[in-house]
Amino acid sequence: MRFLFQAALIAAATTPALAQSVDEALLHQRALAATCAACHGTEGRTPAGSAMPSLAGRPAPWIAEQMNAFKSGAREATVMHQIARGYSAAQIEQLAAYFAALKP
């Protein structure tokens, strides 16, 4: 019984820290994704008829693949190849996960 009580105390003590960590990670992802808004729209949603693709709701693997292709130069672009080079592999994965989780 004492073990269960101690486990409950530990869980209660660490839950706010875990929640804060999750909130900070989401905030970091949102800030990173905000750098895409000028071309891809707020929250990755471009206006109807835009030449730029919307990113919201696209599959994460597809977004990461495109970003990596821009980064390596395998996919040509006017500016995306330069922008993509500024992101680490972890940041590309974070961006892909963020946009994939949004509703189109």
Predicted local confidence at residue 70, as pLDDT: 97
Report the C-alpha gap between 66 and 80 in whole angstroms: 10
State how far the alpha carbon of 33 is from the alpha carbons of 9, 29, 38, 50, 92, in Å: 37, 6, 10, 19, 10
Q: Is 52 helix (H, G, I), strand (E, B) or coil?
A: coil
Tell which residue, 73, 78, 31, 84, has the closest CA to residue 51.
Answer: 78
Residue spans per domain, the chain? 2-101
Confidence of residue 9 (pLDDT cuts 50, 70, 90): very low
Output the pTM of the full model: 0.78
pLDDT tens, 58-100?
Answer: 999 999 999 999 999 999 999 999 999 999 999 999 999 999 9
Helix (H) or strand (E) holding 40: helix 37-40
| 2-101 is classed CATH 3.40.190.10 | no
Predicted local confidence at residue 13, as pLDDT: 54
Q: DSSP class of residue 46?
A: P
Predicted local confidence at residue 22, as pLDDT: 76
